[in-house]
């Protein structure tokens, strides 16, 4: 059986507080971004150069909102894992991720090894390399 390092209560509360603060901050920033977008809607000048610039700005806004939505989803997932006492364990190998990594990346779902393997596998051209390095790692064990 694997030894499961536990997060102590104080650390759990600390992480939860951090996640909730970040969640509130993001929700607020998204709300004001949406409000701003609605406020500028309909007041566009007819000039096409300005239109283009605004469109680019719009695109940046949309990209930003999409990114924030993704982060919010990650925060919600992390809070859920905290509730279920599953927080801090790697999705792939179920090992404890480790406090230094969790402090740096509070939404981390994988340990460093599994994360880099997952990232390699996400890129098709790197898949072969992941297989090779996986084999090498196994041999070193
Ligand atoms: Zn792992």
CA 110 – ligand 1 centroid, Å: 5
Whether 88 contacts 97, CB under 8 Å: yes
CA 94 – ligand 1 centroid, Å: 6
* DSSP sequence for 107-120: T--S-HHHHHHHHH
CA 75 – ligand 1 centroid, Å: 20
Average pLDDT over residues 16-45: 82
**Nearest 5°: phi and psi at 96?**
-65, 130
Residue labelled with tokens 């209560």: 9
CATH number of 9-109: 1.20.120.910
Q: Where are the domains of the chain?
A: 9-109, 111-141
0.85 cut: is pTM over it? no
Tokens coding 21 = 């603060």
End-to-end CA gap in the chain: 18
Closest CA to 16 of 68, 82, 63: 82
Select the more confidently predicted residue: 50 or 82. 82
The pLDDT, as a whole number, for residue 60 is 86
Average pLDDT over residues 51-58: 73
Question: Strand, coil or helix: what is 1?
Answer: coil
Question: Strand, coil or helix: what is 94?
Answer: coil
The pLDDT, as a whole number, for residue 121 is 80
CA 84 to chain CA centroid, Å, is 19
CA 89 – ligand 1 centroid, Å: 8
pLDDT tens-digit series, residues 85-101: 889 999 999 999 999 99
């Amino acid at each position: 059986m694997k030894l499961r390092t536990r997060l102590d209560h104080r650390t759990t509360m600390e992480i939860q507080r951090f996640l909730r603060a970040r969640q509130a901050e993001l929700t607020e920033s998204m709300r004001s971004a949406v409000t701003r977008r609605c406020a500028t809607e309909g007041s566009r000048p007819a000039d096409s150069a300005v239109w283009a610039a605004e469109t680019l700005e719009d695109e940046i806004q949309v990209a930003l909102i999409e990114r924030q939505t993704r982060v919010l989803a990650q925060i919600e997932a992390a809070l859920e894992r905290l509730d279920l006492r599953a927080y801090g364990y790697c999705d792939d190998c179920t090992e404890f991720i480790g406090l230094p990594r969790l402090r740096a990346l509070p939404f981390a779902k994988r340990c460093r090894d599994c994360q880099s393997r997952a990232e390699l596998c996400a890129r098709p051209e790197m898949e072969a390399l992941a297989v090779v390095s996986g084999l090498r790692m196994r041999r070193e064990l």
